Amino acid sequence: AVVSTQSTGTPDQFYLLSSISAWATCFSRESLDPGSLEGEKGEFLGEPSSCVSGEGHVTLPNTLKNHIGLSAKNFLNDGRAVFLKDHGFEVVFSNYVRNSISLENVALLAKC
């Protein structure tokens, strides 16, 4: 994804994106099998869920919330990478564990 080196928004917008990015980890990876609407434990993923976002709740299907959360997380990570590159760093992203171990599994590595 390409992120402009221009300002990516206001502090309120950053807060909102940060809150939405939490949706990427609200659900177990196993329960979000992309080929099925039924999770590993038999729960139906098409039903709306409510995952806290900031001060309120948003009701959407789990698979959609997961997709939106991952998109927000990627957008924020890309913005961090652009900032670091603009300040002379080389940047690499690395998945350091399997999704089944942790959904927070991406490291941003920066080198001068």
pLDDT for residue 43: 43
List the structure tokens of 75: 């957008």
CA 31 to the chain's CA centroid: 16
What does each of the 112 residues of the chain score in pLDDT, given as a tens digit? 444 445 567 899 989 999 999 988 876 544 544 444 444 444 444 444 545 544 556 678 888 988 999 999 999 999 999 999 999 999 999 999 998 888 889 999 999 9
pLDDT for residue 68: 93
11-21 and 62-86 helices, crossing angle to 10°: 130
pLDDT for residue 77: 94
pTM of the full predicted structure?
0.67
List the structure tokens of 24: 């990427």
* CB under 8 A, 24+ apart: contacts of 10-15: 15/54
pLDDT for residue 35: 47
Distance from C-alpha of 12 to C-alpha of 86, rounded to nearest angstrom? 23
